[in-house]
Structure 1
Amino acid sequence: MALRALCARLPPEVVALTRSHLERPAWSRSLSSAAAASPTTTKTFYATTPIFYVNADPHIGHLHSTLLADIYTRHARLRDPRRGAIMCTGTDEHGLKIQRVAEAKGVQPKELCDGVSERFRELARAANIDHQVFIRTTEARHRTAVEHVWRELQKRGYIYKSSYAGWYAVSDEAYVPEGQVGEVIDPKSGEKYMASTETGTRVEWMEEENYKFRLSAFREPLLEWLTTTPNPVQPPSRTTALVSSLSNPSSTDLNDLSISRPASRLSWGIPVPDDPQHTIYVWIDALVNYLTAAGYPWLGGEAFEKGKVWPPDLQVVGKDIVRFHALYLPAVLLALDLPLPKHLLTHGHWTMDKFKMSKSRGNVANPFEAMQLWGVDAMRMYLMRVGGNSASDADYSASEIERFYRKDLSGQMGNLLNRVTTKKLTKKLESPELMCTMPTTLEKEDETLVKLLEDLPAAFDGHLASFDVHRALSAVFDALAESNRHVQLLSPWLATASPSDVHRALFFGSETLRIAGILLQPFMPTKAAQLLDMLGVDAARRRWEDCEIGKGGHRTAPAAGKVHLWPAVVVPEAAAS
């Protein structure tokens, strides 16, 4: 956007103040640095989850978001161990909703936040989430970052004082446009109230003086960012929806944003610098957490210096908060001349047996109970296999978890492992070394499996790069299914099986499991290590470059005794129903 056109949007008194910050070259630098990030860069890989609001205990959707970030961080480390990779998660602890919940419980807001925030830490520990940073918005370092952002935006002329009258959804901590509000009648009580037509959330009419951010000044640079290739917002359908909305002349998505509340109404938050009569709006406060975790404002002495971590390579959020992360945060970053995130992965929601999860319906899945019943890695795999298509919602079903465990994990992976490690078959090899020795001659029966294994690492990596997590896992299970078919075809247990049949069946079955085990380390870290141990794969040969047929190196003999990778699970009657 030309400077003249942008300045026409601003009051004359701030044009002179902001001119140097509104020049296109500054924005171009931010936009180009996001687009030009290279997989060979020395910058640390940085992935973030949304910070979770502490008004209730964690549920399966929180675990889903966290797993996505964890898996991509682990995968980045597997692909390039020299680069370094960190993941950040945490809790969002300010706002009117927290203030009211604490008042209702008769406790101080900080006490409420401490308890629920710890539950999210417990979830991360229980799910084996390898995060390096856990950020809380009540931390002193975060307040420093938020105050710095505010002062920078104010200095650059992007904040001004105004008045606001409109609808506010306390539970969403968001203002709702007039056109998205309608009257609702409670079916039980008959009470009439106003609610958001988009979310069904109750809204309140508020009139107050507050500070605003000049979001409207960033329409063109945001459109430019959103339409870069590859799309920064994934899946592409959400980019299309955003661009369509912003291109509509009547769109209110980029109206100037209220970013404070009177302290008389909202005391639980960070006060506006130099104006304690106002409290910083919770979403502006929360969005800064990603900068805080990266060391911002880089004044010296931080864990991560400037340019080491920022910008994020991947931000994972639910589809309900796309607007905040795809419009508000990038606009603030553009105003600060900071590089924009490389990718924003916006995933769908979870239903249970085709119904939306809700406390009133009593169908909210408890992630702690699920992991205790089925095991941590089984649930990690299930959530990513079923919920890995971010373009759609996913359905959580106890019967489907059981089917996935028995058919895919135990029936495909576990069954193949049992076949290639059973003593009755391994003793039929002419020498133990043949288990890890590529056959000198390939037969027609081997062609399909060999081709799958040759293509698997690149296909797996490509699906993850395009954020088709479910397809990455499907590629692995397709190879496992074909390998089971291959063993069945050669039937090495028959007395009539030739030495070549035995060799090829056990070698290719073992190689399928070895390559799958390496690829799946980010998804099922404990079970992958156990699988590779059971195959006798050296700990130093579990790198990305080892995912090639016949390149597994010498194997050590597995420990004696029958050990099941995926042991049978007894499902309590209550859980099954």
Structure 2
Amino acid sequence: MTLADVRNRWCKFNNRDTFFTTGTDEHGLKVQNAAEKAAIEPKLFCDGLADKFKELAKLGDIKYDRFIRTTDVDHYAAVNHFWNTVNDNGYIYKGQHSGWYSVSDETFYTESDIVESIDEKTGKKMMIAKETMNEVIFQTEENYFFKLSKLQKNILDYIKSNPKFIKPQKYYDFIIHELESRELPDLSVSRPSSRLQWGIPVPNDDNQKIYVWFDALVNYLTSEGYPNAKEFPKPTHLVGKDIIKFHCIYWPAFLMAANIQLPEQVFVHGHWLMGGRKMSKSRGNVADPIEISNYYGSDSLRLFMMRYSVLDTDGDYNEKTLNALRSEFIDKFCNLMIRSLSKNFSIERALGRLQSNKLETLLNEVNDEEFKNSILSVQLQINNLKNDIDDDITNFDMYKATHKLFSMGPQINSLFDIYEPWKLKVKKDDDEMTKHHKQLKQDIIIFTALDSLRVLLLLFQSIIPQYSKMLLDRLDVDSKKRTVEYATIASDFTYGKNTTFKKGEKVPLTKLEVPSTV
């Protein structure tokens, strides 16, 4: 959700049309069994789960446009229409099915996809899926089938002709291998109502319920107004690596069968581990995002995830690393604000001077080539940042964008370390020319540092919206001037008045200690 939220915020920041959906897939045997175990009606069980995900999204400052549930009324209508369309186009038939079924994965596996294993707790022999390591049970039943085999070549041809359809590359290669290495069997797309009660009935056949993935994948169309909308955009999907086949093989096949255009792209991400291992309550290596956010702030967790989220690998959560990154943000950017807004400088004079004069002209007046190059280098890099990180964020390479933003902190701070603007005080015996040059040089340093910080905070808004707002508010940046049009040096001179730090005042973001229990 956070990866999608960052990209969505970035699109809105850049005035691009976007519609962000997330939500819950609620049907299927897994949910039915869990509701029975909890002695709750399936719908009430799902209501509680959906609320928890909504609360988590609110805590994480996830600004979705729609939270879609597969129990929504319009989704039922969309699934029924989609089934009938695919059926009318000749892609659905009834037959008998035998195979190894995983309740956890909600899917059948072939003999080559399973292996014998031993249950660690009971010592019982069982069969498991090689890919997910979840238990499978052999079943024979009458189902409706989707003619997946008929579309295998079409899917392969499409993906080969669109090499950016699946990203990162390793997952593109995986799907190509899947499509080239074996013939795809037709897919069972229903389950007997005698076994599965919690699902959408097959149109005109109450004895069968629609397969949960055929139902769930249609949510993308439901969100677009299917079947009533006349035009459908080409969406971008962001999915976990464990459900890549459903989104990159089954879903394209379903869409082809319904004569609906395929998504623009499918981005695949890894999972979060802890200590290099899958999180598990029994091992005690579980990270609670609610506890983390309540202690460090949700933006600290957002920042950590985006800095260390590399799509084609699993991430490794570490609380000490999260806190160190949070402290690094404070050192680089909060302290830069304190330095720039020191009572030793005239913020209004610096802003006014640069508003009234061209920077190049003022730099030539200073007549210091090294100084001029330092200032122009920082400003050039700042002005290029919004374009530099655009591809990164659009392609969900958030770690690259975050690294580029962080890398500017030391360069801006170095202006203070090298040129020590607090030493450029006007003395009583200074002549007018010396006085002018001291003030001019000081103003250029302060303006460059402060305006660079303003731009960086604008660009940080998608990643850490609360921290960015906090610091932009402290700079008194107009809320209407926090869009991409103002993400360059000298594009806004209306901020900074009466923002000088008073004695003893601190930035409203302070460092924390990692709890001793960690």
Give per-residue Cα distances to partners, 1:253-274, cap 9 Å, x unaligned: x321110011111111011111
Give per-residue Cα distances to partners, 1:111-168, cap 9 Å, x unaligned: 2111111100111111111111111111221111111111111111000111111111
Question: Residue 487 of structure 1 aligns to which amino acid in structure 2?
Answer: F
Aligned-partner Cα distance in 1 for 2:398–2:450: 24
Aligned-partner Cα distance in 1 for 2:351–2:491: 16
The answer to whether 1:70 aligns with 2:70 is no
Aligned equivalent of 2:109: 176
Aligned-partner Cα distance in 2 for 1:496–1:482: 23
Deviates more, 1:539-548 or 1:125-134: 539-548
- Alignment partner of 1:554 out of 479, 491, 494: 494
Q: TM-score, normalised by structure 1?
A: 0.82
Q: Does the CA contact (< 8 Å) of 1:436 and 1:555 recur in 2?
A: no
Question: 1:332: how far off?
Answer: 0.9
- Alignment partner of 2:238 out of 311, 316, 336: 316
Question: Residue 266 of structure 1 aligns to which amino acid in structure 2?
Answer: L
The answer to whether 1:458 aligns with 2:387 is yes
The answer to whether 1:202 aligns with 2:135 is yes
Correspondence list, 1:43-82, <5 A: 66-80=1-15
- Alignment partner of 2:250 out of 303, 328, 332: 328
Q: Does the CA contact (< 8 Å) of 2:320 and 2:514 recur in 1?
A: no
Aligned equivalent of 2:507: 564
Question: 1:431: how far off?
Answer: 5.1
Percent identity (aligned): 35
Aligned equivalent of 2:445: 505
Question: CA separation of 1:230/1:550 partners in 2, compared to 1, >3 Å: closer, same or farther?
Answer: farther
Q: TM-score, normalised by structure 2?
A: 0.90
The answer to whether 1:527 aligns with 2:473 is no
Question: CA separation of 1:434/1:565 partners in 2, compared to 1, >3 Å: closer, same or farther?
Answer: farther
Larger radius of gyration: 2
Q: Does the CA contact (< 8 Å) of 2:168 and 2:268 recur in 1?
A: yes
The answer to whether 1:392 aligns with 2:313 is yes
Deviates more, 1:539-548 or 1:144-153: 539-548
Aligned-partner Cα distance in 2 for 1:554–1:73: 28
Question: CA separation of 1:451/1:228 partners in 2, compared to 1, >3 Å: closer, same or farther?
Answer: farther
The answer to whether 1:99 aligns with 2:32 is yes
- Alignment partner of 2:214 out of 284, 290, 308: 284
Question: 1:447: how far off?
Answer: 4.2
The answer to whether 1:245 aligns with 2:166 is no
Aligned equivalent of 1:540: 480
Give per-residue Cα distances to partners, 1:54-85, cap 9 Å, x unaligned: xxxxxxxxxxxx111111111111112xx532
Aligned equivalent of 1:486: 415
Aligned-partner Cα distance in 2 for 1:372–1:142: 35
Q: Does the CA contact (< 8 Å) of 2:454 and 2:472 recur in 1?
A: yes
Equivalent position SS for 1:74: helix
Aligned equivalent of 1:271: 201
Aligned-partner Cα distance in 2 for 1:89–1:465: 18
Question: 1:362: how far off?
Answer: 2.5
Aligned equivalent of 1:22: none
Question: Where does structure 2 lack aligned partners over 5 or more consecutive residues?
Answer: 364-370, 427-437
Give RMSD over aligned pairs.
Answer: 2.0
Aligned equivalent of 1:55: none
Question: Residue 513 of structure 1 aligns to which amino acid in structure 2?
Answer: L
Aligned equivalent of 2:404: 475
Q: Does the CA contact (< 8 Å) of 2:191 and 2:210 recur in 1?
A: yes
Q: Does the CA contact (< 8 Å) of 1:350 and 1:393 recur in 2?
A: yes
- Alignment partner of 2:343 out of 415, 423, 427: 423
Q: Does the CA contact (< 8 Å) of 1:181 and 1:196 recur in 2?
A: yes
Q: Does the CA contact (< 8 Å) of 1:417 and 1:513 recur in 2?
A: yes
Aligned-partner Cα distance in 2 for 1:431–1:92: 55
Q: Does the CA contact (< 8 Å) of 2:217 and 2:251 recur in 1?
A: yes
Question: Where does structure 1 lack aligned partners over 5 or more consecutive residues?
Answer: 1-65, 299-304
Q: Does the CA contact (< 8 Å) of 2:351 and 2:447 recur in 1?
A: no
Question: Residue 82 of structure 2 aligns to which amino acid in structure 1?
Answer: V
Aligned length: 494
